[in-house]
A = this chain, B = another copy of it.
Amino acid sequence: MPTVHVNLGPRSYDIEIGSGTLRDAAKLCDAEQDDAHTIIITDSNVAELYSEPLIEALEGLGCEVAALEVEPGEPSKAPDVAAELWEELLDHGADRKTVVVALGGGVVGDLAGFVAATFGRGLRFVQIPTTLLAQVDSSVGGKVGVNLPGAKNMVGAFWQPTGVLIDVDVLQSLPEREYRAGLAEVVKYGVIQDADFFAYLETNVEKVNARDSAVLTRIVERCCRLKADVVEKDEREETGLRSILNYGHTYCHAFEAATGYEKLLHGEGVAIGMMCAARLAERLGRVDAAFVERQRKLLNALALTMEVPDVDHDELIELMYRDKKVERGKLRFVLPTRMGHVELVRDVANEDVLASMVPD
């Protein structure tokens, strides 16, 4: 089984990637130990599809298991839902031996991770991401947390899992739109870190669109490795390196905020934001028109829309200034210099940002 080792000293862990491997997660939970105790946190959609086999596998090893469900969707990533889960953990007798399993997409992973990071001052935590976005992004890196009204991810912690199991087979049940949105982050890794991987995606568009298991395994493995490379060097987002993962995200966060976090999936916003960032880079003379076209072509082949939402562009600029990544009142952008390489660019003029949102 392909394994990505995330090297973070005493907080190191493995990401095991496979096809049809969901039940293997039981081993990651130390389910065969005496006194083994696992609490699964999931949402009601995912529970229906995947809770049962996981519970069976855990119980089969003699582990005591409980499964807690939250409502699907972003509103569950909130302090009051975390507080309910804390009390449920207490009711289920969770203590230092308990392993918390996040079974679901990014919302479940971030929420369950935050609950694990804080209950009893920190419980062990296993991630089983079930969306493409979570598999290639939010399950790597240890960022966990909940939203405050008007401020995404504002409360949280860095809390590394003790293990991550990725079964690409679960992606077969993912709604088409969510699958596509996840692909935007996949393309991002190619642009920011790995030109060969970008070319691999170009060559394999059909198999990607057909959700071919072997191709998905390879894609997820490569994305996890690329993200792990960054996280290993800047675990707590202190050196600025980790910010390269935010390619397209300054725009995306503004689009999401302007449309009330309802119209756009995160990955859809990233795809549009990447196109704006590429045009901005071209305008600033960092890449040529062929680069922009190459990125557009791949995103298009993966059926991602690249139209900027119908919101006043000056309002979008204002929203960018409110983003928590703004430094001393200056907008900064992650911009490519060539395929597979980006740089952090500070102090970009508003007029260039405005122009980048209008396609040629």
Contact = CB atoms under 8 A, between A and B. Distances in A.
Interface of A: 35, 79-80, 82-83, 86-87, 90, 95, 117-122, 143, 145, 148-151, 154-158, 236-237, 324, 328
Of A80, A155, A158, A324, the most chain B CB neighbours within 10 A belong to A155
The count of identical subunits is 2
Given A148-B86, A149-B87, A154 B80 contact: no
Contacts of A86: 79, 148, 154-155
A143 B121 CA distance: 8
A158 B328 contact: no
Contact of A155 (B95, B119, B149, B154): B119
A80 to B, nearest CB: 7
B158 A121 contact: yes
A79 B155 CA distance: 13
Nearest to A120: B154
21 contacts: A35-B328, A79-B79, A79-B86, A86-B148, A90-B148, A90-B150, A117-B157, A118-B155, A118-B156, A118-B157, A119-B154, A120-B154, A120-B155, A120-B324, A121-B145, A121-B157, A121-B158, A121-B236, A122-B158, A122-B236, A157-B157
Interface majority SS (helix, strand, loop, mixed), chain A: mixed
Nearest to A86: B155
A359 B151 CA distance: 57
Nearest to A78: B83
A141 to B, nearest CB: 11
A143 B154 CA distance: 22
A117 B117 CA distance: 11
Q: Which of A86, A121, A149 has its CB near the most chain B CB atoms (within 10 A)? A: A121
Given A79-B82, A119-B155, 14 more contacts: A79-B83, A86-B154, A90-B148, A90-B151, A95-B324, A118-B155, A118-B156, A119-B154, A120-B324, A121-B145, A121-B156, A122-B157, A122-B158, A122-B236
A82 B154 CA distance: 13
Contacts of A117: 157
A267 to B, nearest CB: 23
A149 B90 CA distance: 9
Nearest to A328: B35
